[in-house]
Structure 1
Amino acid sequence: MKRTPTWRRTAVAAVLSLALGGMAACGGDESAEDTSSASAQLEEQADDETGQDDDLEAGEPVPEDDFVALVTAAFEDATSASMTMTTETSGMSISADGVLDYTAKTPAMRMTMRSEEIGDEPIEMIMVDNVMYMQVPDLGGKYLSMDLDEPGNPLGPMMTDSMDPSKQAEMMRAGLESVTFVGEEDVDGESMERYSATLDPSAALEGMQGMQGVPRSMMPEQMQSDTWFDDDGRVRRMVIEMGELGSTEMRMDDWGADVDIEAPPPGQVTTMDDMMGSMTQMS
Structure 2
Amino acid sequence: MKRTPTWRRTAVAAVLPLALTGLAACGGEESAEDTSSASAQLEEQGDEDGEEAGGLEAGDPVPDDDFVALMAASFEDATTARTTMTSETAGTTISAEGVVDYTGKTPAMRMTMESAELGDEPIEMILVDNVMYMQVPDLGGKYLSMDLDEPGNPLGPMMTDSMDPSKQAEMMRAGLESVTFVGEEDVDGESLEHYSATLDPSAALEGMQGMEGVPKSMMPEQMQSDTWFDDDGRVRRMVIDMGELGSTEMSMDDWGADVDIEAPPAGQVTTMDDMMGSMSQMS
C-alpha distance in structure 1 between counterparts of 2:56 and 2:270, whole Å: 53
C-alpha distance in structure 2 between counterparts of 1:119 and 1:239, whole Å: 25
Describe how 1:99-138 pairs up with structure 2 within 5 A. 99-138=99-138
1:2 equivalenced with 2:39 (yes/no): no
Q: Residues 83 and 251 of structure 1 are in contact (CA less than 8 Å); yes or no, is this contact kept in structure 2?
A: yes
1:45 equivalenced with 2:45 (yes/no): yes
Q: Residues 183 and 195 of structure 1 are in contact (CA less than 8 Å); yes or no, is this contact kept in structure 2?
A: yes
Q: Could you give the per-residue CA deviations for residues 88-123 of structure 1, whole angstroms, max 9, x where no partner exists?
A: 122221101110001111110101111001110111
Partner in structure 1 of residue 82 of structure 2: 82
Residue type of the alignment partner of 1:188: D
Partner in structure 2 of residue 249 of structure 1: 249
C-alpha distance in structure 2 between counterparts of 1:26 and 1:197, whole Å: 18
Over aligned residues, Cα RMSD in angstroms? 1.9
In the TM superposition, residue 7 of structure 1 has moved relative to its aligned partner by: 2.9
* Change in 2 beyond 3 A, CA 1:52/1:80: same
Q: Residues 194 and 227 of structure 1 are in contact (CA less than 8 Å); yes or no, is this contact kept in structure 2?
A: yes
Residue type of the alignment partner of 2:201: P
What secondary structure does 2:120 align onto?
Answer: strand
Partner in structure 1 of residue 152 of structure 2: 152
Q: Residues 124 and 134 of structure 1 are in contact (CA less than 8 Å); yes or no, is this contact kept in structure 2?
A: yes
1:93 equivalenced with 2:93 (yes/no): yes
In the TM superposition, residue 281 of structure 1 has moved relative to its aligned partner by: 1.2
Q: Residues 84 and 252 of structure 1 are in contact (CA less than 8 Å); yes or no, is this contact kept in structure 2?
A: yes
C-alpha distance in structure 2 between counterparts of 1:97 and 1:49, whole Å: 40
C-alpha distance in structure 1 between counterparts of 2:22 and 2:75, whole Å: 14
Q: Residues 27 and 169 of structure 2 are in contact (CA less than 8 Å); yes or no, is this contact kept in structure 1?
A: no
C-alpha distance in structure 1 between counterparts of 2:26 and 2:65, whole Å: 18
The percent of aligned pairs where both chains have the same amino acid is 78
- More displaced stretch, 40-49 vs 222-231: 40-49
C-alpha distance in structure 1 between counterparts of 2:95 and 2:148, whole Å: 24
TM-score (ref. length: structure 2): 0.94
What secondary structure does 2:117 align onto?
Answer: coil
C-alpha distance in structure 2 between counterparts of 1:7 and 1:101, whole Å: 22
* Change in 2 beyond 3 A, CA 1:278/1:231: same
Q: Residues 28 and 79 of structure 1 are in contact (CA less than 8 Å); yes or no, is this contact kept in structure 2?
A: no
C-alpha distance in structure 1 between counterparts of 2:78 and 2:15, whole Å: 25
Partner in structure 2 of residue 204 of structure 1: 204
Which structure 1 residue ranges, 4+ long, deviate > 6 Å from structure 2?
26-29
Residue type of the alignment partner of 2:116: E
Gaps of 5+ in 1: none
C-alpha distance in structure 2 between counterparts of 1:67 and 1:148, whole Å: 29
C-alpha distance in structure 2 between counterparts of 1:8 and 1:274, whole Å: 18
Partner in structure 1 of residue 274 of structure 2: 274
Partner in structure 1 of residue 177 of structure 2: 177
1:222 equivalenced with 2:225 (yes/no): no
C-alpha distance in structure 2 between counterparts of 1:28 and 1:199, whole Å: 24
Describe how 1:227-246 pairs up with structure 2 within 5 A. 227-246=227-246
* Change in 2 beyond 3 A, CA 1:26/1:135: farther
1:59 equivalenced with 2:59 (yes/no): yes
In the TM superposition, residue 8 of structure 1 has moved relative to its aligned partner by: 5.2
C-alpha distance in structure 1 between counterparts of 2:47 and 2:201, whole Å: 32
C-alpha distance in structure 2 between counterparts of 1:3 and 1:277, whole Å: 16
Residue type of the alignment partner of 1:181: F
* Change in 2 beyond 3 A, CA 1:219/1:11: same
In the TM superposition, residue 19 of structure 1 has moved relative to its aligned partner by: 3.5
C-alpha distance in structure 2 between counterparts of 1:35 and 1:129, whole Å: 28
Q: Residues 9 and 90 of structure 1 are in contact (CA less than 8 Å); yes or no, is this contact kept in structure 2?
A: no
TM-score (ref. length: structure 1): 0.94
Q: Could you give the per-residue CA deviations for residues 181-215 of structure 1, whole angstroms, max 9, x where no partner exists?
A: 00000000000000000000000000011111222
C-alpha distance in structure 1 between counterparts of 2:127 and 2:30, whole Å: 18
Q: Residues 5 and 138 of structure 2 are in contact (CA less than 8 Å); yes or no, is this contact kept in structure 1?
A: no
